[in-house]
Amino acid sequence: MTLEREAAANTAKVLSEALPYIRRYVGKTLVIKYGGNAMESDELKTGFARDIVLMKAVGINPVVVHGGGPQIGDLLKRLSIESHFIDGMRVTDAQTMDVVEMVLGGQVNKDIVNLINRHGGSAIGLTGKDAELIRAKKLTVTRKTPEMTQPEIIDIGQVGEVIGINTDLLNLLVKSDFIPVIAPIGVGANGESYNINADLVAGKVAEALKAEKLMLLTNIAGLMDKEGKVLTGLSTQQVDELIADGTIYGGMLPKIGCALGAVQGGVGSALILDGRVPNAVLLEIFTDTGMGTLISNRKRS
């Protein structure tokens, strides 16, 4: 079967456009946070797996960190375990932690690994408890209102924050041509498990590996200005200004904070892009236009 002239020309254009980007990223590490809407349809899941396999095939080193909040919520509901959230974080008692580990470390992680492997990759599933990949401590949440003389310390259970990443393990896997797929479960000093926000884990992994790029797949086209237009290339200083003037607020603050922290910690750039778009990862990496909102210490090149 031969391509029609127009289709052949389009294919050649895509390949030639991709070539300089392939050269730019060969040998570099890219950390991709995968979850939420990008996991919703078979088409999107298959496209994501193929994107990751292609990246590895052309010499790029992808590291995947995944979430799984909706899947955790579904199983908790089926088990008649009620969920509570404080500042967007799921209160995680011992019973809920068991479900988190079962869903993230078992079901979701293995589904992603299996999908990547079915499309020609060599993925390995990990949680933060494997070789103490993600060392964590209990996250302390405080709240203060004008009526309080002292801040209130709120116990949200086994919710953690990252204090260290075992880069030796990740580098070993990457150099052995494996694709690490990481569930955001941390381990404490006494072996206790911690539920950690996947964006935060992805940011810390990217920072520890000095990754070229951190990519956060989300359910919006990117960071919007006050007129609803997507902001593309932003410096860290511009992000600080947008937070100060109220353009960035609410639920976007933790994600932006994660991206900003990663760039300030040595990651080449961080990107917030729409995981609902098929092949979003490849479109961002290998095309001139790119997608989403890029945050860096330099302008988009």
Say what angle helices 198-209 and 252-264 make with each other, to 10 degrees: 10
Tell whether residue 67 is among the known ligand binding residues.
no
Tell whether residue 191 is among the known ligand binding residues.
no
Residue type, 113: V
- Cβ atoms within 10 Å of 165's Cβ, excluding its own: 22
Mean pLDDT of 172-197: 94
Positive or negative torsion for Cα 185, 176, 118, 10: positive
Residue type, 246: G
In the block, residue with structure tokens 């709120």: 154
Mean pLDDT for the chain overall: 85
Name the band, by pLDDT with cuts 50, 70 and 90, for residue 247.
Answer: confident
pTM of the model: 0.87
**For residue 301, what pLDDT is reported?**
42
> Which two tokens mark 245?
């003037």
Tell whether residue 90 is among the known ligand binding residues.
yes
**For residue 183, what pLDDT is reported?**
96
Chain CA centroid to CA 8, Å: 35
Domains of the chain: 26-296 (3.40.1160.10)
* Beta-sheet pairing, 61-66 with 29-34: parallel
The helix (run of H) or strand (run of E) holding residue 272 is: strand 269-274
What digits encode the pLDDT tens for the residues 65-106?
A: 999 888 898 999 999 998 888 777 788 889 999 999 999 999
The pLDDT > 70 percentage for the chain reads 87
Mean pLDDT of 137-152: 72
**For residue 34, what pLDDT is reported?**
92
Chain CA centroid to CA 176, Å: 22
* Between 269 and 286, the higher pLDDT residue: 269
* Beta-sheet pairing, 179-183 with 213-218: unpaired
Angle at 206 between CA 295 and CA 260, to 5 degrees: 30
Q: Which stretches within the chain are classed as H helix?
A: 5-25, 42-57, 69-78, 94-100, 109-118, 167-175, 198-209, 236-244, 252-264, 280-286
What digits encode the pLDDT tens for the residues 256-267?
A: 888 888 998 999
Say what angle helices 236-244 and 252-264 make with each other, to 10 degrees: 150
Tell whether residue 69 is among the known ligand binding residues.
yes
Cβ atoms 230, 221 nearer than 8 A: yes
Residue 220 is given by DSSP the state S
Torsions phi, psi for 251 (to 5 deg): -65, -20
Residue 300 pLDDT exceeds 50: no
Cβ atoms 90, 96 nearer than 8 A: yes
Cβ atoms 204, 22 nearer than 8 A: no
d(CA 258, CA 88): 15
What digits encode the pLDDT tens for the residues 50-63?
A: 999 999 999 999 99
Name the band, by pLDDT with cuts 50, 70 and 90, for residue 2.
Answer: low
d(CA 192, CA 283): 40
Mean pLDDT of 239-266: 80
d(CA 222, CA 88): 20
Say what angle helices 42-57 and 109-118 make with each other, to 10 degrees: 60
Highest mean pLDDT among 70-84, 178-192, 232-246: 178-192
Q: In what order do the strands lie in the sheet with 213-218?
A: 123-127, 179-183, 61-66, 29-34, 213-218, 269-274, 293-296, 233-235
**For residue 144, what pLDDT is reported?**
62
CA-based nearest residue to 84, from 178, 156, 181:
156
Positive or negative torsion for Cα 66, 70, 73, 78: negative
Residue 49 pLDDT exceeds 60: yes
Mean pLDDT of 267-293: 82
